[in-house]
A and B are shown apart, each in its own frame.
Chain A
Amino acid sequence: SQTIHQWPATLVQPVGSPLSLECTVEGTSNPNLYWYRQAAGRGLQLLFYSVGIGQISSEVPQNLSASRPQDRQFILSSKKLLLSDSGFYLCAWERGYEQYFGPGTRLTVT
């Protein structure tokens, strides 16, 4: 069966510090992968998606970037965090029309 992992689960970082969030998928190959952000009490905002290694599409201009160094690994990064980067970050993989989400990372920028 397929599983999706995210780490860390929670993170508190100061403004201006770098960020690296990791997402890995097991049990499937060449999945479409997605990064979403959810602000408190809000819906999901698509940040990046990837249909293959090294292929990244950005949906929202921001100080975040994404990379896919391996088939089942998706990384969300920032060189300098802003207060507005606080939120709940969810990674998802796709089978057919359905997306399956990881447990999420709760990021607080102080």
Chain B
Amino acid sequence: AQKITQTQPGMFVQEKEAVTLDCTYDTSDQSYGLFWYKQPSSGEMIFLIYQGSYDEQNATEGRYSLNFQKARKSANLVISASQLGDSAMYFCAMREGKTSYDKVIFGPGTSLSVIP
């Protein structure tokens, strides 16, 4: 079964508008972490934001925020005021547990295109 689901293979957004990228996850662990990464066409994976399962507030990093809904097992990424440089692949990921031996599982990704 898929641990991380990203149902939007491709998304378009107008420059300066906000966009939400969906992510749902599957775990029976109480302790886990959720991540979002950006991969531009150059291929490098860039860490964007992290949310711990016990964090009471949604994580924010500049224009990025994570809409964490624990009961629904969703961790959507919200990008405000989109810029042309935001065009990239975006991956949602999860780590179950807390130890170094707990691997990170990545979703299939969503391709975001920002239109000028």
Contact = CB atoms under 8 A, between A and B. Distances in A.
Interface residues of B, number: 22
Contact of A104 (B44, B52, B100): B44
A43 B45 contact: no
A34 B47 CA distance: 15
Interface string B28-52: 0000010101000011111100101
Interface string B16-32: 00000000000000000
Given A43-B106, A51-B101, A99 B44 contact: no
- The B interface, classified by DSSP as helix, strand, loop or mixed, is strand
Contacts of B101: 51, 57
Nearest to A98: B47
A94 interface: yes
A97 B35 CA distance: 9
Contacts of B46: 101
A5 interface: no
B108 A42 contact: yes
Contact of B47 (A42, A57, A59, A99): A99
Interface of B: 33, 35, 37, 42-47, 50, 52, 91, 95, 100-101, 103-109
